[in-house]
A and B are shown apart, each in its own frame.
Chain A
Amino acid sequence: MKRIIIAALILMFAFSASASAHTGLTSSTPSDGDIIADDIYEITLEFNTNIESTSTVKIFSENNEEITGNTIVNDNVMISGFNEPLDDGIYTVEWKIIGADGHPIQGTYSFEVNQEELNDPADSGESGETTNAPREVSVEKSEEQMVEVPSKIASNDLLVIILVVLFTIAGGFFGWIIGRRQK
């Protein structure tokens, strides 16, 4: 029985730990979901903790080609610069950092460079609008991801079963202690 309980505890710990993908990113330019109409020479990531200098950021194009850049780390900011501006397309940013406490944290996000559609530098109002709009989209998207699939087991039933089991165990032990005394 001891083994079963220990196994159950370990399982419980394992489950609570499995969702421990970390985040430490507070802001970035371009940020997640942005559609950028300008030339981009660098990306900037800002974290909620000072980071060690071996932290890395990689940028991948749609074809999964890595764009090489020079990365500089300064306190809690990491900047990766490119020699040439990014071409049109969707880019994925993969960052891996080590916080000052030694906790490794990683994450990805993506943004899009699209100069063809909105290549009208004279109309600054419109470009302002476009940077706002995708942000809202990205917020909605992340909320959608949080919505839970309703098909999982109704947790109430499980709790009732656990409760019954616990009461049985308590009763069983009580009976055992009483019975033991009478011997």
Chain B
Amino acid sequence: MIWIYLTESLLYLCFSLLMGAFIIQFIPEKLKPTIHIPKRIIQLAVLGVVFFSAAPVLRVILFLYEDIGLFTTLESVLSGFEVGKAWNLTVILAIFFYLFVSLFPVLKSKALSGIALAFTLVLLFALGWASHAASLTEWSGFVFHSLHFLAVTVWIGILLIVGWCSKDLENWVSYLKWFTPLAIVCFLTIAGTGLFLMTLVINVNEYPDAWTVPYGQALLMKHLTIIPVLFFAFINGFWIRRKLKRQEQINPIPWLKFESILLFFTFVSTGMLGQQEPPHSIEITLAGSGPSAIFDYFYSGVIEPSMRLEFGLNTLNILFFIVAIIFMWLIMYSFRKKTPAVVPFFMGMFCVLSLYFGLMASIQ
């Protein structure tokens, strides 16, 4: 099952790259550093969309072919299933897209970049079509899922492109001037639509109870991995800007790179989340599929389908939360003391672990 989480995460990465690469073309030269995007990356990202979006289809085929034969399976999955139909559309669009980016200088002209951006958007909607949320509601699931994903790819796409493809630090302050508000808007959109998508699957009051099943564990992991990202975003958006304005010597690029690596962990946990069985009823899921192995490990009591988790503070989890706060403080402190960006990157990861274990330890 690990391969499907990885392909999902890489799929999000490809979409983000495409989105970022084409959006940045519309930003005036004065408002961004010098950026050079190799065309090979765009081509690879388009191919990545085709291959990585095939993973869920492949999984369905592998699941079925023993029973009804490979050919029948291929035929019915590709022509009958929603995931298959969505993938067909993805492949057809992606072939044209690939030819388009290969034959035309898409990164040289705004009009061509606009067409490429439109291609990316349609592909993104095709992905939303096959999503879990879309299968649950008439239209709202599809709209919110697509909007959620759109906000993610816009924010992270620009971050990736600027972090990994910029050649100098020119116009950095004016770049931050528009990117920081954009990132905040994207983040609020992500939070709002994410909350809605969550209510489709679980009752928000039962959020901690969902930790008993793998879906809830993945959801918790996803939410926790966002915390260090926010610290990095704050440093990149505000502190670095202040330092640059004061003409202090600082290179923001490594900080952006590590922020994007942290975001990749969020992608991985999102990929996991998307492939877990959503516990519409925690009780039924727990009775049918059993608890998450990790939860089972930490929970010493008897796990019953109808149980509700009780929380409380004890010495152990208070200490975990304290160490988590120390790690958060260390992220800021290491920036102030001008350590390499890799140090707060690890602080962020340890912070996630401390919070996770602290929450697990607080279950009575």
Contacts and interface: CB of A to CB of B under 8 A. Distances in A.
A127 B225 CA distance: 56
B228 to A, nearest CB: 13
Interface string A137-154: 000001100111000101
Instruction: Please classify the interface of chain B as helix (H, G, I), strand (E, B), loop, or mixed, using the class held by over half of its residues.
Output: helix
27 contacts: A5-B346, A13-B5, A14-B1, A15-B294, A20-B277, A21-B289, A21-B290, A23-B277, A25-B288, A48-B280, A54-B64, A54-B80, A56-B67, A96-B63, A101-B130, A102-B57, A104-B59, A142-B305, A143-B304, A146-B290, A146-B303, A155-B298, A155-B299, A155-B300, A162-B357, A163-B316, A180-B339
Contacts of A133: none
Contact of B287 (A16, A142, A159, A181): A142
A16 B292 contact: yes
Contact of B293 (A19, A25, A154): A19
Interface string B299-321: 11111110000000000100110
A10 interface: yes
A174 B300 contact: no
Interface string A48-66: 1110111010100000000
Given A98-B60, A167-B319, A170-B327, 15 more contacts: A9-B268, A13-B2, A14-B1, A22-B277, A48-B280, A52-B81, A53-B76, A54-B77, A96-B63, A100-B82, A102-B60, A104-B63, A166-B327, A166-B350, A173-B347
Interface residues of A, number: 61
Given A13-B5, A23-B277, A152-B297, A101 B131 contact: yes
A16 B59 contact: no
Contacts of B135: 49-50, 99-101
A67 interface: no
